[in-house]
Amino acid sequence: MRLLNPIVSAIAGVLLMANATTAASASLVDVQFSNYYGEQQTGAGVKGAAADYWNDFVGSATASGALQTVSGDASGIDLSFSSALVYSSAWNYTQFTGTPYDHLMKGYLVGNANADIDLKFTGLLANQLYGFWIYTQGDDNSAGRQISLTATDGASAVATQTNSNSLALGDNYVYIVSRADAFGSIDIIGHDLAGEANINGLQLMAVPEPATLPLLAAGLALVGAAARRKRAR
């Protein structure tokens, strides 16, 4: 077993490094768009847990900034965005008033015939898949509004609002999986298909890929070859 131990140790080291890379890129990041201070969301959206931190961009239709994870740590990801305007529903003019998603669904970016909503993410891991949960419901006039969301790699989804009072896929949020380019960037465009385009906020997280499986297979093959050589002596 003297020959096998160094090989096994090397394989274990490679797998640990691969797992560490995956874990480092898998932190959840939450973002919301508000028109007034004091409307910062706390806790879970579709993903997450109680007390999760939300990056709150307040009072601007166009802005940029570094994002923190739900734990309040630096994520290394930057967001720059542009839209026609940013808006906030009256306290009693959104179906989510009094729910855990009250603050998230109160403020939103607006896209219209003159300007799309453009979300640019940089600082991502190059060629890594990322999942985006994007919230798309405006105020109590939102029924019938429709938005298309398209990422740089062609990933896309459409949301058609029904003025729901609960989170519903394809209604007031969509899920898109997009791969970052070689520079670690993803650009998502929200286009008005009917009424106006609304984006309240989003959550993003790296999508795990089975990258360790080929490493494991190669490692097992090395171990097998070493064992056969040892028996042949």
Q: Which pLDDT score, from 0 to 100, does residue 210 have?
A: 72
Number of domain units in the chain: 2
Does position 213 have pLDDT exceeding 50, yes or no?
no
Are 161 and 226 found together in one domain? no
pLDDT of 65 above 60:
yes
pLDDT tier, 101 (very low <50, low <70, confident <90, very high otherwise):
very high
**Residue 66, pLDDT above cutoff 80:** yes
Q: How confident is the model at residue 221 (pLDDT cuts 50, 70, 90)?
A: low
Task: Verify that 49 and 158 share a domain, yes or no.
Answer: yes
Position 57 pLDDT exceeds 70? yes
Q: Is there a single domain that holds both residue 97 and residue 1?
A: no
Read off the CATH number of the domain in which 57 is found. Answer: 2.60.120.430
Q: Are residues 58 and 4 in the same domain?
A: no
Check residue 182 and give left, alpha or beta (phi > 0: left; psi -120 to 50: alpha).
Answer: alpha
Structure-derived torsion over alpha carbons of residues 107, 112, 114, 118, reported in degrees to the nearest 10: 60
CA distances from 60 to 56, 124, 202, 208 (A): 11, 24, 16, 33
Question: Rounded to the nearest 10 degrees, how much is the dihedral formed by the CA atoms of 65, 71, 72, 78?
Answer: -20
Q: How confident is the model at residue 51 (pLDDT cuts 50, 70, 90)?
A: very high
Task: Give the per-residue pLDDT at 21.
Answer: 40
Q: Which of 16-25, 40-49, 136-145, 222-231 has the lowest mean pLDDT?
A: 16-25
Q: Are residues 54 and 145 in the same domain?
A: yes
Residue 230 in this model has a pLDDT that exceeds 70? no
pLDDT at 22 over 50: no
Give the pLDDT mean for 99-112.
Answer: 97
- Do residue 108 and residue 223 come from a single domain? no
User: Higher pLDDT residue, 192 or 19?
Assistant: 192
What b/e readout covers 177-196, taking b as 16+ CB neighbours within 10 angstroms? ebbbeeebebbbbbbbeebb
Q: Are 34 and 147 contained in the same domain?
A: yes
- pLDDT bin (cut points 50, 70, 90) of residue 105 is very high
Q: Are residues 158 and 71 in the same domain?
A: yes
Range of the domain at 193: 27-207
Q: What's the whole-number mean pLDDT along residues 197-208?
A: 97
Statement to judge: residues 148 and 99 lie in one domain? yes
How far apart CA 155 and CA 176 sit, in angstroms, is 6
Residues 220 and 106 in one domain: no
Q: What is the phi/psi pair of residue 145, to 5°? A: -70, 145
The one-letter amino acid at 20: A
Mean pLDDT across the chain, nearest whole number?
87
Residues 111 and 150 in one domain: yes
> Do 7 and 61 fall into the same domain?
no
* pLDDT beyond 60 at 68: yes
Q: Given this model, what pLDDT does residue 194 score?
A: 97
What is the arithmetic mean of pLDDT over 162-184?
A: 98
Tell me how far apart the terminal alpha carbons of the chain are, to the nearest angstrom. 13
Tell which wins on pLDDT, 217 or 101: 101
